[in-house]
Amino acid sequence: MIPVSQPFLPPIDEYNSLISKLWDTKWLTNNGPYVQQLEDKLKSYLHVPSLQFVNNGTAALLLAIKALQIKKEVITTPFSFVATTTSILWENCQPVFVDIDPRTLCIDPDKIEEAITDKTEAILATHVYGIPCDVTRIEKIAKKHNLKVIYDAAHSFGVHIDGKSLLEFGDISTLSFHSTKLFHTVEGGAIINNIGDKLDQHLKLLRSFGFEGENYQTVGINAKNSEFHAAMGLCNLKYINQIILRRRMITEIYDGMLANWVEKPSIPEGVEYNYAYYPIIFENEQELISVMNKLKNNNIATRRYFNPSLNKLPYLENNSSCPISEDISKRILCLPLFSELHVCDVEKISKLIMEGLANESTDNRRGRLYRV
Ligand SMILES: *Cc1c(COP(=O)(O)O)cnc(C)c1O
């Protein structure tokens, strides 16, 4: 089976040489030297002023909401991984869904202001697939209404916009280093705080039970990560540029073969992209299901990332409507994309999709097939 994603693993000797030292030091967790090294290296690689390594991307979101003392309504996107919404709910806040821009699939800034009430305290938006939200407009709206901004940047490792790290926008950006993500530490994540040192200190406390030494200052949680995870990150970081280049090459092959067949979300001008995902948009759900099954029958996995639209989660109290997100969720499918995917498989996958669409459908599609 060709999976939809596959984690990069560094040469095992490189990992072992870091890990074997732990048998001497016996310092396995609690802000150990590998964690500190990884934080430093990530800060410089990502061009961000502050970064804290945590145990996963969901914990990063929870800490962000907690640290910014958000308690009421949070304007958020319906088109993301479920953790974006559940983090808001877990912190006993109220998610208020604002529909997405049909081109970037990120929250639509034109629709944010009409969703603001006297209880709105924050905007939590996702740079979905690593495509930047309209950070400039969101910043303006947030300033005008005195709102905090958190970006779920789980997909945005290494993305730059006009030469600046995307992670530098908003009050806080959160990353996930889960093994399905572009850069991974098996499990892991990070918080990037753009407010300043005081918040850094507070986040450190929250990450580690809310105390330092004998000073019990606040209610914290355990969101630390271990030396084993940090060592995986240190090894993987050495290969990240190669990984991104390889994924770019695969993306370009898909693009070349599928351009006339399916739509894709669009990446705005000035964005240095990271090739985190390869989503394609079909004309309707029936086409998607037929192509997905065809690929499955040929031992190729795909993923309906992201479906359902999060405003339709069954456990939400308020039933809101986001027609664009609900429509796109039914028609979007992520294709296999990982650094070790073979070129011949990329071609095979693309051909199966073209065949599937040609069989599926309309005369104009058939016409397109003959033109290829
Ligand atoms: C993966 C992901 C998360 C959660 O990260 P974990 O490290 O798995 O907890 C949150 N938001 C988005 C958009 C994600 O893709």
CATH 3.90.1150.10-classified regions of the chain: 240-360
Give pLDDT tens digits for 15-29: 999 999 999 999 999
Residue 319 — very low, low, confident or very high, per pLDDT cuts 50/70/90? Answer: confident
What is the distance in A from the centroid of ligand 1 to the CA of 154?
6
Position 104 pLDDT exceeds 60: yes
Give pLDDT tens digits for 337-363: 999 999 999 999 999 999 999 987 655
What is the distance in A from the centroid of ligand 1 to the CA of 106?
16
How large is the average pLDDT for residues 260-279?
97
Rounded percentage of the chain residues whose pLDDT exceeds 90: 95
Determine the pLDDT at residue 68: 98
What is the distance in A from the centroid of ligand 1 to the CA of 195?
23
**If you take atom 10 of ligand 1, which residue's CA is the nearest one?**
83
What is the distance in A from the centroid of ligand 1 to the CA of 57?
5
Ligand 1 interacting residues, C-beta cut-off 6 A: 56-58, 80-81, 83-84, 126, 152, 154-155, 176, 178, 189
Q: What is the mean pLDDT of the chain?
A: 96
**If you take atom 6 of ligand 1, which residue's CA is the nearest one?**
57
Rounded percentage of the chain residues whose pLDDT exceeds 70: 97
Residue 365 — very low, low, confident or very high, per pLDDT cuts 50/70/90? Answer: low
Atom of ligand 1 nearest to the CA of 176: 7
How large is the average pLDDT for residues 257-268?
96
Atom of ligand 1 nearest to the CA of 80: 13
Position 370 pLDDT exceeds 80: no
What is the distance in A from the centroid of ligand 1 to the CA of 174?
9
Determine the pLDDT at residue 264: 97
How large is the average pLDDT for residues 224-240?
98
Atom of ligand 1 nearest to the CA of 84: 11
Atom of ligand 1 nearest to the CA of 189: 7
Q: Under CATH, domain 240-360 is a member of which superfamily?
A: Aspartate Aminotransferase, domain 1 (3.90.1150.10)
- Domain 12-237, what fold? Aspartate Aminotransferase; domain 2 (3.40.640)
Mutate to test the pocket of ligand 1, among 81, 191, 309 (most ligand atoms within 8 A of CB): 81
Determine the pLDDT at residue 360: 74
Contact indicator for 65, 93 with CB cutoff of 8 Å: yes
Active site (catalytic) residues: 181
Determine the pLDDT at residue 73: 98
CATH 3.40.640.10-classified regions of the chain: 12-237
Position 372 pLDDT exceeds 60: no
